[in-house]
Amino acid sequence: MNMTSLVDYILSLFRSEDAARSFVAAPGQAMTNAGLINVSPAEFSSAAASALPFLDLGAGDPIGGVQQAVADQHGLALASDGGGLSSGLLPRMPEPS
């Protein structure tokens, strides 16, 4: 796995809404489609820290953390199926003013 490719991919998620939608809906499939196969959580976390040093992923799932950050960046909402992530997207409701 090429770390530079993974860093570039993570950065592309914040630049391209189409890439973001695919990643938010199905991160594993989106990464496979981008040629990023068998990326470990540790590799993903390291690449995310290089690409986005300001982003605090905490001790949890690094892919889920980036998924949430990407959804927030593009105004997408993660759909929920009883607390887990699902493959659907819901439009984000406007913030009350």
Residue-wise pLDDT tens digits, 50-69: 999 998 877 778 999 999 99
pLDDT attached to residue 96: 52
Q: Is the pTM of this model over 0.85?
A: no
3-state secondary structure 43-96: HHHHHHHHHCCCCCCCCCCHHHHHHHHHHHHHCEEEEECCCCEEEEEEECCCCC
Strand partners of residue 85: 80
